[in-house]
């Protein structure tokens, strides 16, 4: 499974990237705004830092302007994936940009039917939003399962990019189902290392080391 980091904070990306935990990055206007920096400037810096796809989102809602914005965004770097919404205009933009040879991440997916349309339009990635479905008492993981089944049935190459990841359990469940990619905030990825028995075991080791006055250096 590939790990994408859902942030525009350069320091957080760099820390995870140094550990080999970053296969790509997803950004959006809200994350860019939170960083307090210019969208082109920060996106370029992220692209220079990581080798994998960096999703940069259009701000328009009509197809023609989305296409124009997408063509401007891909000038930033070769690893840009243009992020478009799952609307009819977004699918039009996806088809055009894909035909141009660019990666496209179709976002705000909430149904398997939407995911099927995105794959037919040639999307590189489809981003089903797990957490937001959970918020309205629907099972986001059922959506991942449905998309995985449909894509496997017909050999679609569009990668399932599980998004709106809120917890380490979301990551685990996505991996079990077979999502190709997850995108999560740095805090969620770092929380995957935590386990109470690891902490308990480490405390016991440290106590023994102290009692035995063991030193290596």
Per-residue pLDDT at 23 exceeds 90: yes
Average pLDDT of the residues in 67-74: 97
List the single range of 36-40, 99-103, 120-124, 134-138 with lowest mean pLDDT: 36-40
Percent of the chain with pLDDT over 90: 88
**With contact defined as beta carbons under 8 Å apart, do 7 and 186 qualify?**
yes
Let me know: does 30 contact 9? Beta carbons within 8 Å.
no
In the structure, what pLDDT confidence band is assigned to residue 94 with cuts at 50, 70 and 90?
very high
Which pLDDT band holds residue 208 (cuts at 50, 70, 90)? Answer: confident
> Is residue 120 among the annotated active site residues?
no
Q: How many CB atoms lie within 10 A of CB 18?
A: 9
Count the Cβ atoms, other than its own, within 10 Å of residue 150.
Answer: 15
- Within a 13 Å sphere around the CA of 199, how many CA atoms are in the beta-carbon half? 4
Domain positions in the chain are 2-192
Q: Using the structure block, give the residue that is written with the tokens 């099972």.
A: 139
For residue 199, give both structure tokens: 């902490």
DSSP 87: S
What CATH class does 2-192 carry?
alpha beta
Of 34, 72, 83, 200, which residue is the catalytic one? 83
Tens-digit pLDDT profile for residues 108-121? 999 999 999 999 99
In sequence order, the β-bridge partners of residue 55 are 26, 81
With a cut of 80, say whether residue 35 has pLDDT above it. Answer: no
SS3 111: coil
Burial class (CB in 10 A: 0-12, 13-18, 19+), 190: middle
pLDDT at 217 over 90: no
Q: Is residue 32's pLDDT more than 90? A: no
Question: What is the radius of gyration, based on Cα positions, of the chain?
Answer: 20
Confidence of residue 216 (pLDDT cuts 50, 70, 90): confident
- Bridge partners (DSSP) listed for residue 109: 128
Q: What is the mean pLDDT of residues 22-37?
A: 86
What average pLDDT does range 1-23 have in this prediction?
A: 96
Instruction: Using CA atoms of 4, 5, 8, 11 in order, give the dihedral in degrees to the nearest 10.
Output: -120
- Per-residue confidence band for 30, with pLDDT thresholds at 50, 70 and 90: confident
d(CA 70, CA 75): 9
Q: What is the pLDDT of residues 146-201, one digit of tens each?
A: 999 999 999 999 999 999 999 999 999 999 999 999 999 999 999 999 999 999 99
Residue 18's pLDDT band, with cuts at 50, 70 and 90, is very high
Q: What are the residues whose beta carbons fall under 8 Å from the beta carbon of 155, sequence distance 6 or more? A: none
């Amino acid at each position: 499974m590939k790990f994408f980091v859902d942030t525009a904070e350069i320091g957080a990306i760099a820390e995870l990237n140094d550990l080999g935990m970053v296969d790509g990055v997803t950004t959006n206007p809200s994350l860019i705004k939170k960083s307090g920096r210019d969208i082109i400037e920060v996106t370029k810096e992220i692209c220079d830092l990581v080798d994998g796809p960096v999703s940069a989102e259009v701000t328009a809602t009509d197809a023609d302007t989305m296409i124009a914005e997408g063509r401007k965004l891909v000038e930033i770097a070769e690893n840009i994936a243009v992020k478009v919404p799952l609307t009819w205009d977004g699918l039009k933009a996806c088809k055009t940009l894909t035909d141009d040879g660019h990666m496209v991440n179709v976002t705000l997916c909430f149904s398997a039917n939407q995911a099927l349309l995105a794959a037919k339009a040639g999307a590189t990635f489809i981003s089903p939003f797990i957490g937001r479905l959970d918020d309205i008492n629907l099972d986001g993981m059922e959506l991942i399962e449905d998309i995985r089944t449909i894509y496997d049935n017909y050999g679609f190459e569009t990668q399932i990019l599980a998004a709106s990841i809120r917890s380490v359990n979301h990551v685990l469940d996505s991996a079990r189902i077979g999502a190709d990619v997850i995108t999560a905030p740095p805090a969620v990825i770092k929380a995957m290392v935590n386990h109470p028995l690891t902490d308990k075991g480490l405390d016991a080791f440290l106590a023994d080391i102290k009692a035995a006055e063991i030193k290596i250096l």
